[in-house]
Structure 1
Amino acid sequence: MQIHLDSDKCQGHNRCYALAPELFDVDDYGQAVLLVDGDVPADLHDKARLAAANCPEYAISVAE
């Protein structure tokens, strides 16, 4: 599984960070930062899907 963050769409709601802090962080401006480069570890697949499903700006996409 791969996860992608479109930084241009991010509005800083930080739901991704609240739901999956293992995958996301927040920069100094409140924008999401993806912590995973490449494949998402298998034990975090559910959290990646949850973060994508809860992003109000649809800035997160998951490719299975």
Structure 2
Amino acid sequence: MTVLAAVLALAGVASLGVLLLQALQGAEIWPGFAAGAFYALPVAFLLMAGLVIDSIVHRRRG
């Protein structure tokens, strides 16, 4: 899960970077980059938050 969250976060940041560069150049923006930034980053955030909560629960129990 940690690796998936990290990969999604990196893919989302990369998509956002490409999206911003294309917008600054005035080029046509491919919708896949926008979808990558809009969906990958929140999913990665939720996965990471879930991992933190899971870690806290395991520490309190053990």
**Shared fold per TM-score greater than 0.5:** no
Structure having the higher strand fraction is 1
TM-score (norm: length of structure 2): 0.32
Larger radius of gyration: 2
